[in-house]
Structure 1
């Protein structure tokens, strides 16, 4: 399982790299996620700075950076939002700063068309990457060494991450919080922003939790009902009876709303619950198997390993946080 490459927990310093013509939505998303800790979270939060060479216009707003681009190599995480005109080459100083940050050990993540900066810096050569669907062909043609995947929300290559546009930028930011602090904290951020806590990025370890976005959707009442009963044995017939429709009709609605079958969606929710319990409690694997409706530890281990890529015990060791370790760049020699 890819845990983000660095093995770090906690957030550290985050640098938002800005330039003229930057897309304001993606920049705002990153600042909202990393710049403000949820009120119910007690872990030390990220230290965010906006970095650029000069005041820039972001959409209709004028933005004065906190730091210069030379600050990027001192950050633990560098976020590169997209900008409106991909036909314009990224500024050379931005490309150089992003490359230097990566070489210094920072994670570098692009949102939307920010992938063009990472590609120009050579960070995506030989790697899988994505960007907004409207620009994937351009990215592939301009940078043939990049394996462009137009069908995913985001791609995590460890220290290099890319996302598709708009909402997918939020998905990637929440994914990064989850890697740093675990799913419970990421869920708190999602609750503050009133968004689903987790959508699949495309890799097996990212567990989807799609929710219909209309109150009158046929599944809008059923899905919360299921999540409240994950410790119970549930069949398709049970779900269809609760939804007052046939099993076949239920399957069609599930496929349309979630992209998967009722039983696969149910299994996904059981695994999500298991992840949260592994991160936040000392319960045994046997107890978690019972609490998530898996029945036995053997069944939980089989499904968990297949979906997440590691056994439950290994997952717990990776994501269970008791203290925030020192960040890369946390020593005094890196603070200026």
Structure 2
């Protein structure tokens, strides 16, 4: 039996205003819809809707608006009743679309019109995870950069080829249109907005309450791990890959690895790609970055020179180059994010 949750505005607030009169900050409207993604919805509430006494009287004013009438089903067996409709968007300064029921589910024309009108009036639009589907339907992202969960990127790109989709980053800030990648990346984007609206000190306090890193750069990669060995190749390539992992600090010729596997160089390269999803050279760089990240995450502070040497990048410049080109951030910024989490 589903559990019913009723979401209504503060009873002391007269109609037609859906937002409380206090605090006095930007008005944030979060969309609810049938099939609501409760995690993404919860992220938006946790950052923008939860009372923040430490912020004083100037904080976000929060409201929920229903994309369609009637009780709305939500993930996890919930049924949500929302009092406010799309008219709430008429007053919003920021509209958050917390996911969408399916990436191939149509977006109601009334919702498209309401979002387009809100944007034309000057409101910011934000999508979390699959919520990009909704913003894409407005056409406002055509010719702009955007991101979404890496699982949905290919399908959304096929439906909306005019969007410059970047599935390798955590979030994209295009001014008045902001998009986040999957799930937890929504927290990063929400904190990015708080930082821009209220400054780093308050954003860091919000992050501390959430027990998350205070700041991850939007360009930081989603850190999708490379595929593990496929069973068919594991017997022959497994020992070779173990040896490569154990000696990441060394530059070992691929021909030597092929000989160890008992294969010709060409056969080794082909089977390595089939087994791991990456050519050998790319795999080595990815593994070196994995080791470097692990060392940066440690509470004891290891110098960049020592990390570069241990991971096979030879010097800090090489480490920085590959970190920036593959992960979209710097070793120093990555280390700071984990230092903030520990504190």
TM-score (norm 1): 0.61
Note if contact 1:171-1:198 (Cα within 8 Å) is conserved in structure 2: yes
Q: Tell me which stretches of 4 or more aligned residues in structure 1 moved more than 2 Å.
A: 37-43, 216-220, 249-252, 258-261, 264-270
Q: Which 5+ residue runs of structure 1 have no aligned equivalent?
A: 1-9, 204-211, 227-234, 241-245, 274-336
Contact 1:73 1:102 in 2 (8 A): no
User: Offset of 1:91 from its aligned partner?
Assistant: 2.0
Q: 1:45 to 1:133 in 2, by over 3 A?
A: same
1:63 aligns with 2:77: no
| TM-score, scaled to structure 2 | 0.60
Q: Evaluate the alpha carbon distance shift between residue 183 and residue 102 of structure 1 in structure 2; reply closer, same or farther with a 3 A threshold.
A: same
Where in structure 2 are the equivalents of 1:255-270 lying within 5 Å? 259=323, 264-266=330-332
Q: Which of 137, 144, 164 does residue 154 from structure 2 map onto? A: 137
Pairs aligned (count): 231
| Higher gyration radius (CA) | 2
The CA RMSD measured in Å over matched residues stands at 3.2
More contact order relative to length (CA 8 Å, sep ≥ 6): 1
Q: Aligned residue for 1:162?
A: 179
Find the partner of 2:26 among 9, 12, 18. Answer: 12
Offset at 1:219? 4.0
- Do the aligned partners of 1:112 and 1:164 also contact (CA within 8 Å) in 2? yes
The partner residue of 1:28 within 27, 42, 55 is: 42
**Does the CA-based 8 Å contact 1:112-1:166 persist in structure 2?**
yes
Deviation at 1:88, TM superposition (A): 1.3
Please say if 1:48 is aligned against 2:49: no
2:140 match: secondary structure: coil
Provide the rounded CA distance (Å) in 2 between the counterparts of 1:62 and 1:265.
44
- For residues 45 and 30 of structure 1, the distance between their equivalents in structure 2, rounded to whole angstroms, comes to 14
Task: Work out the CA distance in 1 between the residues paired with 2:180 and 2:65.
Answer: 20
- 1:86-131 Cα offsets, whole Å, 9 max, x none, are 1211222222211111111100001111111111011111111111
Q: What residue is the counterpart of 1:81 in the other structure? A: 98
Q: Give distance in 1, aligned partners of 2:297 and 2:334.
A: 16
C-alpha contact 1:37 1:189 (8 A) present in aligned 2: no
Summarize the Cα distance change of 1:146–1:219 in structure 2 as closer, same or farther, 3 Å threshold: closer
Asked if residue 221 in structure 1 is aligned to residue 287 in structure 2, the reply is: no
Q: Distance in 1 between matches of 2:206 and 2:59?
A: 12
Q: How far apart are the structure 1 equivalents of 2:51 and 2:298?
A: 29
